[in-house]
Amino acid sequence: MKEFAYRRATGVRDALALVAADPGARYLAGGTNLVDLMKVEVEAPTRLVDVRHLPLGGVGEAPDGGLVIGATTTNSDAAADPRVRRRFPALSQAILAGASGQLRNMATVGGNLLQRTRCAYFADPAAPCNKRVPGSGCPAVAREHHNHAVLGWSEQCVATHASDMAVALAAFDAVVRYESPGGAGEIPLAEFYLPVGRTPHLETALPPGALITAVALPGAAASPRSRYRKVRERASYAFATVSVAASLDVHDGAVRDVRIALGGVASKPWRARVAESALRGGPATAERFRAAAAEELSAARPLRDNGYKVTLARNLIAAVLSELV
Amino acid sequence: MPGVIGVVDHRNAPRLSPLAGTFFGPDGGLLMLQDGVVPYAGCPVALVVARTPEQAKAAADALPVTYDEQPHDTHFSAGHPAARPASTVFGEDANVGDVEAELARSAVVVDEWYRTPEEHCGAMELHSATAWWDGERLQAVDCNQGPFIVATGLATLFSLEPERVRVRAEHVGGGFGSKGLCGPQLVLAVMGATLFGRPVRVTMSRHQVFLMTPPRPATEQRVRIGAGADGSLRAIDHEAAFEVSPLASYVENCVEPTKTLYAAAAIRTRLTAVPLDILPPFSVRGPGLTPGSFALESAMDEVAERLGLDPLELRLRNEPAAGPVSGLPFSRRDLVACLREGARRFGWADRDHRPRTRREGRLLAGTGLAATAFSTGALPSSASITAEADGSFTVAVGASDIGTGARTALIAVAADALRVGTDRIRMRIADSDFGPAWAAGGSRGTASWSWAITDAAAKLRERLGDPERPVTVTADTTRVLGGLPPRERHAYSAIFAQVTADPATGEVRVRRLLGMFAVGRVVNPLLARSQAVGGMIMGLSMALHEEGVRDRASGRQVNADFAGYHIAAHADVPDVEADFVPDYEPDDPSGIKGVGEIGTVGTAAAIANAVWHATGVRQRTLPIRVDRVLEDDPR
Ligand SMILES: Cc1cc2nc3c(=O)[nH]c(=O)nc-3n(C[C@H](O)[C@H](O)[C@H](O)COP(=O)(O)OP(=O)(O)OC[C@H]3O[C@@H](n4cnc5c(N)ncnc54)[C@H](O)[C@@H]3O)c2cc1C
Ligand code: SF4
């Protein structure tokens, strides 16, 4: 680990100013991802600006019937909030499917959104990696990529986004709120993560030095009939191989509304819009769920060793929707 | 840089002797920092000694190292052009009867390949050693599984007289084989202490433990079994290939169970070593037997399937009267008792043997079993006991307690042998100065040390009339063990597993594991049970999770930490039952066989067989990953 300076920010303005003043500065929240990466020197900030104690925590009501979750709310608190559990159960389930109890007590909502990929080459400074060192190459495409992306990747990077929480947020059309030196702003989750393209090192649409302040869940997306299912290499404490967040509203046997997002398949939570529009208005049957899932996955480009994810994602979408009928 | 005391690399490191090694012969893997060659990815290239671990780490990260690339090969396969017959330290290949003729005469023949990946010990305690020179004497506090053996190896390595080396390891947080050798932590700490004239502690990081301490080698095994229509085995042919390093000889004795478990008209075994540019593999809990039994016991299940026979019945019908290859009598063979009692408790009698017939919603359920034989027998050790003036007894034995509770068990053995209460025993272990002793390895520790303690106690009891105090006696079991009649000596087990599989997602969960064990006399039921249960959990982890993955270009392990190398989490571990059938070893004064490793053996096959019973699909490659179970059309 490289030596670094540490300051606890006294307020949002103070945090913004401290980070703006030092190009090597980074926000520190729970530290569960950042500090791990500092230990292996994948991250080497010169200054940490601790924002975990800023008054940005807690879950509040939004005027549209939705919820606003403060950026420093712990993963545990967000998952346990009764309103989250009632209106957005898939979000609570997604958070609880991640990491461990101890980690969720430390980790924050803002930090969770910005956690880095779990690609092993990314975490090994001895290996080339376009995300870590732009232009150095991507060993994963030709080498070990059993748990890498099948959708939306480029030759430059085939890593997945690791967050469970973000998958549920994508399904619910959440909006990320931030403050930045240039002013406050909002970014819909669908636009929050940038396409990989030729710039895998540029991960989000946040302006430089921006501090995430909250995540807003629109009231219109609230769905007690929503569910998160995560398949992984063991029963708990592992990142998703493939996961699905879905909500389903069926009326008279027909799909009135449906939301589907996939985790573990792309550099960002993958909103399955193709499958959604194939299903909307049609009958809610297992065959149609399967066909819609297959249509979504027809865009997949599996690598040598991760083709199973295409089958798994298709089966999992169909299984979760069937459970929600 | 701040705090740095010095750097050890191949230019200034003390010269090491190539004679140092293991049971298998000289181990070139011990020759660290001797030249500019990096024989495997993860091999240390320098040691930075500083005042604090943080300073040492920072300086090590800043150290400039340049590498030239040489051709290398880390890709294992049984058919590798460099494959060669393995060393015969564990005995010659079996060549009983005419395998081809018996296969030709068989009603059913199974001929399949089974594969197991590299597996790591993953002991919770990181490898750590502190070394210093105490005048002319080298002192070390290490974490290892056998201080006397490690001290002997260390003395050879640094060309010192054995009396000048003392190694202690009184408290060790798990080993599983990875602390059986003179470890890198110890060799490097001694180098630092020697060069800088001060005590040096080396503690490896988790990443380094993965890269620098030996794994279980990957294996590829072909098993052919032929059986008559009545289920009697005609031929077993077991060819096992495993990876090694050209630096050191090692044998993953996968065929051990094949030589003793079942009677057959013909038995043939072959062991093949494939040298690769990897860290020398070494024994991991249940070496050889664990991957070997996965192959043999999976193949046995396939034989039962083809015969339409109960897999339990198949095993009962092939009980040998004497060692099927050796011809030697069994000292005691309680496999049938394990199988029958295990089957009774598990409810095996109600099993419908057809696969894929039990549905529970989206899940498929199934059960499976496997049998195990694990070779046992005390190895030479010494112990001394002092009758103190206050009426208490101090027992000194070079045993090691790596978390098994060996210390506790030995107190009971000593108290028993001296016919006093345990409160009168002071047990001192894990010090090379206590004299030659076997290690916590081969499941033979407790048997070996107990014998030495029992002999010392017998000698001491003869002298208890002496008024003189303190009085010390020493016993060494080398002679008495050398005089034992040749026998097949084994512990036995039968493992039963119940699983569910979700064909839509490939998720396999173990619902129930039951093991019945014949391990000789059980010294402490609580400790023995936790060895058996822990072993079964390790076997479960092997079945479903564990897999060292190497980068195909660099040969470096890509999942060299616990985030990438998955072991079973709590949520993966079901109700695990383990119990013992009455057993004793007739040739051992305490009746002990050994319980440390046998739980690991057999479990993977029992689970794989249960997955077949659930899904109808054989799992011949471990681990049984999601992508191996997942079905395209899961109906
Ligand atoms: C062993 C382990 C297992 C895990 N398993 C899972 C899992 O199964 N599923 C899963 O989804 N996650 C998992 N995680 C990841 C975990 O969810 C993240 O580490 C955590 O959510 C990050 O939150 P944090 O507050 O600790 O972030 P930090 O580590 O403090 O920060 C992460 C990043 O976010 C930035 N940041 C933090 N807060 C803000 C803010 N308000 N504004 C702008 N930038 C900010 C930091 O500068 C840093 O770049 C696991 C982590 C570990 C260590
Ligand atoms: S997949 Fe992305 S993160 Fe992984 S090595 Fe390639 S560029 Fe780096």
Give the position of tokens 């990320």.
Answer: A176
Contact between B431 and B400 (Cβ < 8 Å)? no
B464 touches chain A (CB under 8 A): no
Q: Which residues line ligand 1 (CB under 6 A)?
A: A 26-34, 36, 51, 71, 75, 98-99, 103, 106-108, 110-112, 114-115, 162-165, 211-212, 239; B 563
Whether the predicted pLDDT of B159 surpasses 90: yes
A75 touches chain B (CB under 8 A): no
Chain B from 337 to 366: CB within 8 A of any A CB: 362
The yes-or-no answer on residue B597 being catalytic is: yes
From the candidate CATH numbers 3.40.30.10, 3.30.360.10, 3.30.365.10, 3.40.980.10, the one assigned to the domain spanning B382-482: 3.30.365.10
Which residues on chain B are in Cβ contact (under 8 Å) with A235?
A: 509, 569, 571-572
Whether the predicted pLDDT of B466 surpasses 90: no
* Nearest chain A Cα distance for residue B542, angstroms: 12
Q: Which residues contact A24 (CB under 8 A, 6 or more apart)?
A: A44, A45, A46, A47
Which residues on chain B are in Cβ contact (under 8 Å) with A231?
A: 505-507, 626
Q: In the sheet where B507-518 sits, what is the strand order?
A: B359-360, B363-375, B490-502, B507-518, B575-580
Local structure of A283: helix, strand or coil: strand
What average pLDDT does the segment A176-204 reach? 98
Q: What pLDDT, in 10s, does the model give residues B71-115?
A: 999 999 999 999 999 999 999 999 999 999 999 999 999 999 999
Q: What pLDDT, in 10s, does the model give residues B126-140?
A: 999 999 999 999 999
* ipTM of the prediction: 0.96
pLDDT of residue B464: 81
pLDDT of residue A33: 98
What percent of chain B clears pLDDT 70, i.e. is strictly above it?
100
B54 touches chain A (CB under 8 A): yes
B506, A231: Cβ pair inside 8 Å? yes
Contact between B318 and B265 (Cβ < 8 Å)? no
d(CA A309, CA A270) in angstroms, rounded, equals 13
Q: What pLDDT, in 10s, does the model give residues B402-436?
A: 999 999 999 999 999 999 999 999 999 999 999 99
Contact between A243 and A95 (Cβ < 8 Å)? no
Contact between A227 and A208 (Cβ < 8 Å)? no
Local structure of B278: helix, strand or coil: coil
Give the position of tokens 């260390």.
Answer: B154
Q: Which long-range contacts (CB under 8 A, 24 or more apart) does B56-65 make?
A: B56/B3, B56/B4, B57/A1, B58/A1, B58/A2, B58/A3, B58/B1, B59/B1, B59/B3, B59/B4, B59/B7, B61/A41, B62/B1, B63/B7
- Helices marked H in chain A: 12-21, 34-39, 75-80, 82-87, 89-96, 101-106, 109-113, 139-142, 165-171, 189-192, 273-279, 286-297, 308-324
Contact between B235 and B266 (Cβ < 8 Å)? yes
pLDDT of residue B561: 95
- Helices marked H in B440-582: 445-462, 478-482, 525-544
pLDDT of residue A2: 86
SS (H, E, C) B95-158: EECCHHHHHHCCCEEEEEEEEECEECCCCCCCCEEEEEEECCEEEEEECCCCHHHHHHHHHHHC
Q: Please state the pTM of the whole predicted model.
A: 0.98
Amino acid at B255: V
Which one of B118, B362, B567, B630 makes the best mutation probe of the A interface by having the most chain A beta carbons within 10 Å?
A: B630
CA-wise closest residue to B132 among B159, B166, B86? B166
Q: What is the mean pLDDT of chain A?
A: 97
What average pLDDT does the segment B321-347 reach? 98
What average pLDDT does the segment B184-213 reach? 98
CA-wise closest residue to A97 among A225, A235, A233, A223? A235
Amino acid at B119: E
Q: Whose CA is nearest to atom 6 of ligand 1?
A: A99
Fold of the CATH domain B330-377+489-635: Aldehyde Oxidoreductase; domain 4 (3.30.365)
All domains of chain A in start order, with CATH = 1-52 (3.30.43.10), 227-324 (3.30.390.50)
Query: Which one of A120, A312, A318 has the shortest CB-CB distance to B626?
Result: A312
Q: Which of A150, A158, A196 to mutate to test the pocket of ligand 2 (most atoms within 8 A of CB)?
A: A158
A315, B634: Cβ pair inside 8 Å? yes
Q: How confident is the model at residue B48 (pLDDT cuts 50, 70, 90)?
A: very high
Query: Which one of A127, A142, A238 has the shortest CB-CB distance to B566?
Result: A238
Whether the predicted pLDDT of B469 surpasses 90: no
Which residues on chain A are in Cβ contact (under 8 Å) with B58?
A: 1-3
* Nearest chain A Cα distance for residue B162, angstroms: 40
* Nearest chain B Cα distance for residue A61, angstroms: 35
Contact between B599 and B532 (Cβ < 8 Å)? yes
> Residues in chain A, how many?
325
Whether the predicted pLDDT of B333 surpasses 90: yes
d(CA B257, CA B597) in angstroms, rounded, equals 14
pLDDT of residue B158: 98
Give the position of tokens 């095994």.
Answer: B221
B206 touches chain A (CB under 8 A): no
Q: What pLDDT, in 10s, does the model give residues A133-177?
A: 999 999 999 999 999 999 999 999 999 999 999 999 999 999 999
Looking at the domain that runs over B4-69+121-212, which CATH code has it been given?
3.30.365.10
- Atom index in ligand 1 nearest the CA of residue A95 equals 11
Angle formed at CA B232 by CA B231 and CA B234, multiple of 5 degrees: 125
d(CA B8, CA B47) in angstroms, rounded, equals 5
- Residue A153 CB less than 6 A away from ligand 2: no
Whether the predicted pLDDT of B635 surpasses 90: no
DSSP string, B401-445: -SSS-HHHHHHHHHHHHHTS-GGGEEEEESBGGG-----S-TT-H
> Residues in chain B, how many?
635
Q: How confident is the model at residue B468 (pLDDT cuts 50, 70, 90)?
A: confident
d(CA B367, CA B345) in angstroms, rounded, equals 13
Which residues on chain B are in Cβ contact (under 8 Å) with A238?
A: 566, 569
pLDDT of residue B467: 80
pLDDT of residue B151: 98
Query: Which one of B58, B626, B631 has the shortest CB-CB distance to A241?
Result: B626
CA-wise closest residue to B597 among B517, B498, B477, B499? B517
Whether the predicted pLDDT of B495 surpasses 80: yes
pLDDT of residue A17: 98
- Please give the radius of gyration of chain A, using alpha carbons only, rounded to the nearest integer: 19
Hey, which residues does B548 pair with through a beta bridge? Answer: B118
d(CA B452, CA B475) in angstroms, rounded, equals 6
* Nearest chain B Cα distance for residue A197, angstroms: 25
- Residue A159 CB less than 6 A away from ligand 2: yes
Amino acid at B14: P
Question: Same CATH fold, B382-482 and B75-116+220-328?
Answer: yes
Domain boundaries, chain B: 4-69+121-212, 75-116+220-328, 330-377+489-635, 382-482
- Say how many Å lie between the CA of residue B548 and the centre of ligand 2: 20
Contact between A284 and A324 (Cβ < 8 Å)? no
* Nearest chain A Cα distance for residue B387, angstroms: 51
Q: What pLDDT, in 10s, does the model give residues A16-48?
A: 999 999 999 999 999 999 999 999 999 999 999
Which residues on chain B are in Cβ contact (under 8 Å) with A2?
A: 58
d(CA A176, CA A186) in angstroms, rounded, equals 6
Nearest ligand for residue A118 CA: 2
- Say how many Å lie between the CA of residue B587 and the centre of ligand 2: 60
d(CA B241, CA B225) in angstroms, rounded, equals 18
Hey, which residues does B27 pair with through a beta bridge? Answer: B248
pLDDT of residue A315: 98
Q: How confident is the model at residue B41 (pLDDT cuts 50, 70, 90)?
A: very high
Q: What pLDDT, in 10s, does the model give residues A218-252?
A: 999 999 999 999 999 999 999 999 999 999 999 99
Contact between A169 and A263 (Cβ < 8 Å)? no
pLDDT of residue B414: 98
Which residues on chain B are in Cβ contact (under 8 Å) with A32?
A: none
Looking at the domain that runs over B75-116+220-328, which CATH code has it been given?
3.30.365.10
Q: What is the mean pLDDT of chain B?
A: 97
How many angstroms separate the first and last alpha carbons of chain A? 51
Give the position of tokens 């990929």.
Answer: A117
Q: Which residues contact B210 (CB under 8 A, 6 or more apart)?
A: B42, B120, B548, B557, B560, B561, B565
Please report how many Cα atoms fall inside a 13 Å half-sphere around the Cα of residue A3, on the Cβ side.
Answer: 7
d(CA B420, CA B126) in angstroms, rounded, equals 38
The two tokens of residue B573 are: 């571990």
Q: What pLDDT, in 10s, does the model give residues B554-579?
A: 999 999 999 999 999 999 999 899 99
Query: Which one of B504, B568, B626 has the shortest CB-CB distance to A319?
Result: B504
